[in-house]
Structure 1
Amino acid sequence: MLIANARLADGRTVDVRIEGERIAAVGSLGGEADVDAAGKLLLPGAIDAHVHLREPGFPHKETWETGSKSAAAGGVTTVVDQPNTDPPTTDGAAFDAKAELARKSLVDYGINGGVTGEWKPDELFSRPIFALGEVFLADSTGEMGIDAELFERAVERAAREGVVVTVHAEDATLFDREALEAAGEGVGRDADADAWSAYRSAAAEVAAVERACEVGADSAAAVHIAHTSTPEGIDAAAAAGATCEVCPHHLFLSRGDLDDLGTFGRMNPPLRSEERREAVAERVRDGTVDIVATDHAPHTHEEKEAGIREAPSGVPGVETMVPLLLAAAERGELTRERVRDLTATNPARVFDLPRKGEVREGMDADLALYDPERVETIRGQDLHSKAGWTPFEGFEGVFPELTLVRGAVVYQRDADDDGAGESEAFGEPAGRNVRG
C-alpha cells in the first residue's frame, strides 16, 4: 500500500509505503497511490493503555469484538485490558480464557495480570502479560482492592520480573463517608453525583500516589499511576520518577458537569473541581503528564439509571479519546505533536513497545488518517460501544476516515460534506497480543 500526500503531526507532507505489516519507507516516494491523503493528517495508531472490555463475565456491557470496533473507529490500534473481569485475571487459567476471547479483537492488545488475595504470580508471569495491574489500592468495579502488605509483595515481584506496575491510587481510609451519607435519593441524571466527588476525595488520591511511588522506589520497580485526576497527584508521580496517565473525562469534564450527567458521570477516581481540571489540563499540555488513556469502562444505560450509591462507576471512552484531543488541537489548546505523543509515542515508550507509536520506517503499520477540517458533534448513538451513550454528548471531535493495524484496514468510512458517515466498514479481526 502507498499512502500519498499525508501530513504528519510535525507538519511534514510525506508518502508512506507499507509492505506487509511494516512501514517500508517514508518520504517523497512517487508511484501510484492506493490512498491519496490530499494533505490530511496521518497519525500513528493510538495506544489506549487502560480499557475494560468486560469479557469474560459481562458481555452485555462490552465484548472484545464491540470494544475493538469502537477502538478502531476512534483511531486506536492497540488496547490494554484490565483484570477486573469475571473471573479476574489473576491466575493462568483466567489469563488463558481471556486470551482466547481476545482473538475476536480487530486491534492489537495487551492483557494485564491482576492482584488479589488469591492471585497466582508464578502462573501469571509464565504468560505473556502486558503489565501487572491495574492494581487497586481501593475497591472499584470488581472489588479487587488489596492491603498494603500484598501491594508491597506484588510490586517486589513485578520488579524482579521487569514488569511495569499500573496502580489505581486511592486511599480508602481518607474517603469522606459523611459526604456520601448526605447525598439525596435521586437516580440517573437527577442523582446527587457531586457527593461521589466529595466522598472519594482528592486527598485520598494524592496520599495513595505518594505511597505507591514510595513502595516502587523501595523495590526499584517501574510504577505507572492510572487515571490521575488531580494536579497534586500528577506532581507527586513526576517528582518520584513514576509515569502517569490522565483520562479524557478528567481532562474535559469537572464537577460542574455533574448536574447534567448525574450518575452517568460517576467514576473512580471521580470528577474534580474546575480549578483542578484546568490545572490537570495545563500539565497535559506542558509535558508533565506522560500519556492520555481512557479507562474505557462501559455500563448499560439501564445500569447507570440508579442512585449515587448503587450506580456502577465508569464511562465509555476508547472511541472518543483521539477525536476529542484533535478537536482541542484545532481550537489551539494543544499541538498535534502533543496529541501524537500523548496517545502513541509516549505509551509505546512507557510500556516498551518498540515497533509502535511512530510513523517511521521499520515500525508496525499502525496508522490513522484524519481530516482536521471535519469537526463533528459527538453523539452516543453514533458510537460503536455496547454502552450506547457517552459523557461527551455534544462535544466536538475529529474522527478517523481510515484505520490500519499492521497494514490491515480495520476501519474505513466515506463521509459526506456534513461530516456524517455515508458508509463505514470494519475489517476482520486482525489483533495480536503485543507481548507475543
Structure 2
Amino acid sequence: MKKKFIVIGGGAAGFFAAINAAELNPEIEVLILEGSNKVLQKVKVSGGGRCNITHACFTPNELIEFYPRGKKELRGPFHQFMTGDTMEWFENRGVPLKIEDDNRVFPESNSSQTIIDCFLDSAKNAGVKVQTSTRVEAVEKNEEKFVIKTASEDFIADYLLIATGSNAKVWSMLEGFGHTIVEPVPSLFTFNIYDNRIKDIPGISVPKATVKVIGSKLGAKGPLLITHWGLSGPGILKLSAWGAVELYQKGYSFEIEVNWLSTNPETVLNILKSVKKEQAKKQVIVRSAFAEIPKRLWEQLVVASQISSDTQWAQLSNKELENLANQLAKCTFKVSGKSTFKDEFVTAGGINLKEIDFKRFESKLHKNLFFAGEILNIDAVTGGFNFQNAWTGGWIAANAVSTL
C-alpha cells in the first residue's frame, strides 16, 4: 500500500512541497487539503498581481540578513535550496523569469497567473490530488499515523505537512500537540501620520532616507514615500519588519526621526551655509538646495522652518538655517497607527523555531510532522524573501518525506 502524504494548506509552500514530494517519489500518494474554495490566493495578489517569487541574492550569508525572524535558522536550509534553485525550478517548467533593477524576480509575463498555472499543471502532472472547501477541524495522532478530521470526512496520513500560514485556529491545534506559539503580530505595514508638512503632497518620494524610532534602537535606511495616510516605502517597511514586536507593544503610537538625506545634520547645515553665500539674492522656497529633495517637499520643509515665502537666502538668520537643517536631517513625526502594505499580509509569530529540525523542517516533538512557510515564526522584509522561505521549506520537507 502506498504511503500517504497530506498537506494542509493550498498556498505557495503547500503546493511546492506537494509537487516536489510527488515528483521525487511517485510511490507516495500526495493530497492537498484547502479550506477555501480556491487555492493559491495569496500568490494571486502578491507583488501587485505580478508575483515577486524571489530575490536575486545568491549568497546564503547575505540572504539571511533580510529575515528579522529566522535569520539563524535559515542559514543551513539556504545552503540546500537557494534563490538560484528557485529560479531554475520555475524556468525548467516553462516559466521564463526576469530580474528587475531592485533585484526582485518576477515572471516575464508580469502575471501571477503564470505561477498559479505552473503549480496547477505541475501538481496535475505529478499526480497530486487537490481537495478544496475542506476545512480541517482537528488533527489527532493514532500511533504512527495522523488523523485529519474535517466536517465531511476523516483522512489518514503517514506524513503530514502543515502550511496554513498565519492561522490562529491551526496554531491552537498545534498547541494541543505540545508546540509553543509565539504570539503573532503584523510585520509589513506603513505608518499613519497626520502632519501638515506631508498632508498635501502624497506621491512624493525621496531615494535614500534614514528613519529612527525615537527612544529605541530601531532604525532603517531606504527610499521613503509620502502617502495619503502618512509614510511608506522600503525604508518604512524594513523598519516595520525589524520592529514588528516592539512597535506592537507600543500600540503603534510612537515618534520617528526622519533624515531625508541620510547625511549628518552638521554637514547639512554647512551645505546650507554655502548655498546662502552662493545664491544670496534668490528666494529660499523657490528651489530645493538638494537634488534628492523634491520641490514640493522642500517648500513644506521651508515653511515648517518658519521661513517666509519671500525670504532670500542672504536674509536667513543662523536660527532659520538651523531650523531648516533640522527639518532636513532631524525631522520628527508622530505615528498614530498603521496600515497594511497593499495585499502583503505578513506577520511575525508562529511556531517556536526551537521546536523545529531545520535539516528537515520537521517537528522535534512529533516524527513525520512537517511545517513550511509563515506558520513558523519566520518572516522577512518585502522583495520576494517570504516566498523564498516558503520554497526552501517546502523543498526540504518534500525531500525528507520522499526518502522515508
Bigger share in helix: 2
Greater relative contact order (Cα < 8 A, sep 6+): 2
Bigger share in strand: 2
Higher Cα Rg, which structure? 2
Q: Is TM > 0.5 for Structure 1 vs Structure 2?
A: no
The bucket for the TM-score relative to the shorter chain is under 0.3
Q: Give TM-score, length-normalised by structure 1.
A: 0.22
